[in-house]
Every structure is written in C-alpha cells, then in structure tokens.
Structure 1
Amino acid sequence: MSTPAITKAYPIADTATMLRRNLRHALRYPGLSLGAVGMPVVMLLLFGVVFGKTFSTGLGGGADFEYIDFLTPGILLMSIASGIMSPAVGAATDMTEGIVARFRTMAIFRPAVLAGHVLGNAILTVVSLALVVGFAVLIGFRPNASPVDWLLASGLLVALTIALTWFGVALGLVSKTAEGASNIVLPISLLLPLLSTTFIPLSAMPSGIRWFAEYQPFTPIIETLRHLLLNTPVEDGNGWLAIAWCLAIGVVGYFWAQKSYNKGTAA
C-alpha cells in the first residue's frame, strides 16, 4: 500500500499534533518546566529581597532607586534562557530514541517535529514569564510602562523566546545524548545572563567583564526592556540592536536545526 500524499493541509495539522505531543510531555514530566520558573523566582528572592538593599547601596542608588525594578527585566531574560534546556533535551531524545525514524515512515510534514518543540516551549515560557512578572509585582516591582510599551516589551520577549528556542533545539540535535544536550545549553542559559547587566550596570563592572557584557547579545535586550518597562535612559540604537540580535539568533538557530535534523533523518 502506497504512502498517502502530503497535501497542503498537512503542515498546520501535523504541527498542531506535534505541539500537543510536546505539551503532553511537559505535563507528564514537569521537572524541567518547573525548574525554568523556579530558578528566576529564587533569583528574585535572593537578589531582590535578601540582598536588594545591599546592592542598591553599593550601586549608589538614591531614595527613588529600587533594585527590584532594576533586577526584574534581567530576570525575565534569564527565565527565557533557562527555558531552552527542555526543548534541547527533547530534540536530543527524539533523535537518539528512534522516534524520528518512525515518523519518517509516516506521511508527516517533516518540519512539524521541530516546530512542535519550538511552539510548545514558547507557550510554556510565556506562561512562566507571566508568573515571574506577577511574583515580582508581589515583592515590589513597580513598572511605569504604557500599554504600548508593554506591547513592545512583550513582543521583544516573545521574539527572544522563539529565537533562543530554535538555537536550543539546534544544540540538542547535535548532542549525542539527552544528558549532553542539558550541558551544552548551560553557557546560554546560565553564563550569558550572569555576565550581562542582569544584576549590575556596565559602569560597575571590571574592564574585561564590562567589554564582554557590552558586546554580548543579552545586554542590549535587557537595557531595552528596562527602557520600555521603567522608562530608563537607553543608548541610541539599543532597541534596534536588540531586535537584530533576536533575528540573528533565530535565523542561525532555525537553519542550523533544520540542517542537523535533515542530516540525522537521512542517516
């Protein structure tokens, strides 16, 4: 019996099926998803509440300076970065456990498998961002953004989520094991957020670290979020630079993931 032909209706239907598959996996194994929310919440508590006054004093903040306001945009970015471990592990698991070989024998739109990982993680990350914002407000975060600013900030966060997720999926596909995938994303999920302006401004950093923090992708995105949510000063072009980084990461991640996936399924 011949394999049924793929029609124009298959891409959307197959992507929706893969999306449901990944959401069910997230519900069945909630550890990675909860960890993506748990770490930012712990960071908010530790640095925003426990050490908040110390950091505020050390940074020379005046009476109207609230460290929790400075901290929260960076923690939102950290939430996105820590969330890419789940799709990276999921993509690596699919490639190593043979499920992709089974999909190849079926009339499935090939990019749907990866798109399911990306869309599933994007939905979970948006939910986690909303929870982190709500918790930050409970402990003192007071943004003064207009509705338009909130819309722009939300768009930037979603764009970064999709871009980093594609990059995380690409890293997962080149990993030989799920454990390797969980380790290979650590520089993105942990190191880059720490060596950015998440916790302190560029002016307070040692020269070597300041140079790295200034020219890595997370810093202009964080500063743009601070400008949108808190109306803080921002360097000219920082917003466009943030968008450019999101586009660059997303394009590289997408084509790298597709190439690795097609190479792996052809093996």
Structure 2
Amino acid sequence: MNTTVQKQPVPAPVSRAGDRISFGQGLRDSLVVARRNLLRMLRIPEVVVFGIVQPVMFVVLFAYVFGGSINIPGAGLDPSAYREFLMGGIFAQTVTFATAGSSAGIAEDMQKGIIDRFRSLPMARGAVLTGRTFADVVQTAVVLLVLAIVAFLVGWRVHDGVLNALAAFGLLLLFGYAFTWIGALIGLSVRSPEAATSGGLVWLFPLTFISIAFVPSENMPGWLQPIAEWNPFSATVLAVRDLFGNLPAGYHPPDVLPMQHPVLASLVSSLVIIALFRTLAVRKYKRAAG
C-alpha cells in the first residue's frame, strides 16, 4: 500500500530582529523602549538634575561675568541686550550636549547586555535606538523648560509672540534630536560608558564655541569668521534668536547663505544629520547585533 506524504509548506521564519515587522509595530516598539528609558530617568533623577545644573551655570556665569563686556552689533555693551543675545546660544548648546547622555546610555546598555536581551525579542532593530532618542528628547524638553524659567529671571524675554517662541523651541528640539543620533553612533562605537561620555563631549566644545553662540562673528579673527558663520550650530542659534525677537534693532546678520536664511538652514541641517547618522547608527547596531 503506497502512502503519499504531502509536504506542508513551511512558512518563512520571522527573524528575531524583526525584519518583517510593520512600520506601525516598529513605532510601538520604539515607544515601549522610550517608556523604559523615561521610567529609568524618573528612578534616577540625578541624571535630569545634573543635566539642568550645567546650562543654568552657563546662563549665570555668562550673563553676569561677560555681560557688559562683549560688544553686540546694534546694541553696544548693553548688559541686558547681551543676556537676550546669549540665551539663543545657551538653548542651542543645551540641546546638543544631550549627545553625551545618549552616547553613555547606549554604551551602558551594550556593556550590561541589555541590548542582547532586546535582540532576542521579535522587535524592529531600529526601535531600540529610536526609543532611546525619543526619551532623550523628552528629557531635553524638560531641561529647556527649566532653563527658560531661569533665563526669564535673569532678564531674558520673548518679543515676537507665543507662536514664534514655540517654533523656536520646536527647532531646538529637532536640532537636539538630530544630535542624539550622533550620540547613538558614538555609544555603539566605543567599549565603555566612560569613553562614550568623553567621545560625546570633546568635539562639542569647538562646535559650540566656534560659532555665534556667545560672541558675534564680527568679533572673531577674519579667518575664523567663515567657519563660525557656516557652522550649522550658528544657523540654529541665529534662527531661535530671530524667532524669540532677541536680535538688536541695529543688528545685520553676516552676508552668507546660512546667516541670511537661518531657519531654513537649521531645518535642512537637522534633517540631513538625522538621515545620515540614523542610517549609520542602525547599520552599526545591526552589525553589533549580528
């Protein structure tokens, strides 16, 4: 008696890394990871506190130590004008310094094996990094809120309405989100949280200080002015100053493209950084998880 055995089709396996997971599921995975990181921040409030202390110190030191000694085009040595000029730079510096936290957090998760646990789950690979960067942006928003209150106490004001102010903060958060992806790539590329913290900070100092954040480019040596004016950080600083209404009446931005169209330059640079470094970070994560 012949028995015919029919082979049942074997369904294609779904990889544990989530290669077949839909966009919607990937977004839900990202939000779950973001919630995990936000809960961790609430359980370790020192992370948020120290993240607030540093920019507050910068505000106080620059406002009262350097205020009145730096010439602002269109306002001279007026201390109150410098405080308003300063805050755009401090806000932008604060969102970029979140890079170090992203670097250290991802490096710590790699070191403790938490990333390996995520790899064993049927979730999108990019969700781990996306969730982390989402959480970092929420933390940055809290820091910006506290910083804005402190700035108000030292004399900073918004002069161009609430909508423009909200647009400025949105631009800052987008720029900060872009830099968290740089932090993610750094965190995946080093072997320890200590190295990630150093790697996430050391390059930020020349980026933020060779800019128009703290002094006008006109006050710099001639060879340094083009570097500061084409720095994407400078475009964001000038954009938020313009949206907050913090530019002196007699101030004329340098005659270069990013300084003439700072809002557009900031948006484009943020989106380019996100596209580039998210691609590199996810690719690095896939190799590390392979």
Kindly tell me: are residues 208 and 27 of structure 1, through their superposed partners in 2, closer, same or farther at Cα, counting changes over 3 Å?
Answer: farther
Aligned residue runs from structure 1 range 162-173, under 5 A: 162-173=177-188
For 2:70, what is the secondary structure of its paired residue?
helix
2:165 maps to which of 129, 147, 150: 150
Tell me the amino acid that sits aligned with residue 237 of structure 1: H
> 1:59 & 1:206 partners in 2: Cα distance?
20
Partner of 2:87: 72
Aligned residue runs from structure 1 range 42-57, under 5 A: 42-55=57-70
> 1:204 & 1:221 partners in 2: Cα distance?
19
The C-alpha deviation readout for 1:129-150, integer Å capped at 9, x for no partner, is 1111111001100220223312
Aligned residue runs from structure 1 range 33-182, under 5 A: 33-55=48-70, 61=76, 66-182=81-197
1:207 maps to which of 206, 210, 222: 222
Is 1:258 aligned to 2:277, yes or no? no
When the two structures are superposed, what TM-score results if normalisation uses the length of structure 1? 0.89
Identity, in percent, stands at 28
For 1:53, what is the secondary structure of its paired residue?
coil
Once the two structures are overlaid, the 10-residue window that deviates more, 117-126 or 184-193, is 184-193
Tell me the amino acid that sits aligned with residue 226 of structure 1: R
> 2:230 & 2:131 partners in 1: Cα distance?
32
The C-alpha deviation readout for 1:91-116, integer Å capped at 9, x for no partner, is 11222222222222222232221111
Once the two structures are overlaid, the 10-residue window that deviates more, 151-160 or 187-196, is 187-196
Contact 1:118 1:166 in 2 (8 A): yes
Q: For residue 194 of structure 1, report the CA deviation from its aligned partner.
A: 1.6
Q: How many residues align?
A: 265
> 1:231 & 1:69 partners in 2: Cα distance?
6
Tell me the amino acid that sits aligned with residue 282 of structure 2: Q
> 2:46 & 2:198 partners in 1: Cα distance?
16
Once the two structures are overlaid, the 10-residue window that deviates more, 155-164 or 103-112, is 103-112
Once the two structures are overlaid, the 10-residue window that deviates more, 186-195 or 122-131, is 186-195
Tell me the amino acid that sits aligned with residue 116 of structure 1: G
Q: For residue 65 of structure 1, report the CA deviation from its aligned partner.
A: 5.7
Q: For residue 37 of structure 1, report the CA deviation from its aligned partner.
A: 1.7
> 1:19 & 1:63 partners in 2: Cα distance?
44
Contact 2:84 2:246 in 1 (8 A): no
For 2:260, what is the secondary structure of its paired residue?
coil
The C-alpha deviation readout for 1:24-63, integer Å capped at 9, x for no partner, is 2222333443232211110110111233122358996166
Kindly tell me: are residues 203 and 7 of structure 1, through their superposed partners in 2, closer, same or farther at Cα, counting changes over 3 Å?
Answer: closer
Is 1:11 aligned to 2:35, yes or no? no
Contact 1:203 1:210 in 2 (8 A): yes
Tell me the amino acid that sits aligned with residue 121 of structure 2: M
Contact 1:33 1:83 in 2 (8 A): no
Contact 1:32 1:85 in 2 (8 A): no
Q: For residue 182 of structure 1, report the CA deviation from its aligned partner.
A: 0.5
Kindly tell me: are residues 187 and 37 of structure 1, through their superposed partners in 2, closer, same or farther at Cα, counting changes over 3 Å?
Answer: same
The higher radius of gyration belongs to: 2
For 2:125, what is the secondary structure of its paired residue?
coil
> 1:62 & 1:16 partners in 2: Cα distance?
48
Kindly tell me: are residues 57 and 210 of structure 1, through their superposed partners in 2, closer, same or farther at Cα, counting changes over 3 Å?
Answer: closer
When the two structures are superposed, what TM-score results if normalisation uses the length of structure 2? 0.83
Normalized per residue, the structure richer in helix is: 1
Q: For residue 231 of structure 1, report the CA deviation from its aligned partner.
A: 5.6
Kindly tell me: are residues 57 and 261 of structure 1, through their superposed partners in 2, closer, same or farther at Cα, counting changes over 3 Å?
Answer: closer
1:30 maps to which of 45, 55, 65: 45
Once the two structures are overlaid, the 10-residue window that deviates more, 198-207 or 151-160, is 151-160
For 1:83, what is the secondary structure of its paired residue?
helix
List alignment gaps of at least 5 residues for structure 1. none
The C-alpha deviation readout for 1:62-105, integer Å capped at 9, x for no partner, is 66962110000000001101112111111112222222222222
